Amino acid sequence: MTTSFLLIVQIVLVVIITIAVLLQKSSSIGLGAYSGSNESVFGAKGPNSFLAKATFTIGFLFILNTIALGYMYSQNAQSSVIDDMVETTQVVAPLSAAPVAPVQEENSTK
């Protein structure tokens, strides 16, 4: 249950970090032209500083989540299905010790 939650968080972080990297200004405009963001929303220095800090923070969370997933998967790999089995002992009597009923013959003389 916990590993599936962390895996979903990992996928969400990948999507967010991809969008944050694509929105950053590069030598070509990239997808930053489509954001339609106002510079006053991000502060006086514009979106570059904000997006750089956001990318660093999301990247750090991504690395922490990756380490946590690796730890949980390694713990699951060390356990075995056989460890969870309950040992049961059955006593089986040998076949030669089974009682045999005597066979009765019917006489059909009338």
Query: Is pLDDT of 9 > 90?
Result: yes
Q: What integer pLDDT is reported at residue 38 of this predicted model?
A: 47
Query: Is pLDDT of 106 > 90?
Result: no
Query: Is pLDDT of 75 > 90?
Result: no
Q: In this prediction, what percent of the chain has a pLDDT beyond 70?
A: 60
Give 26 or 103, the one with higher predicted confidence. Answer: 103
Q: Which residue has the tokens 């939650």?
A: 5
Distance CA 20, CA 55 (A): 6
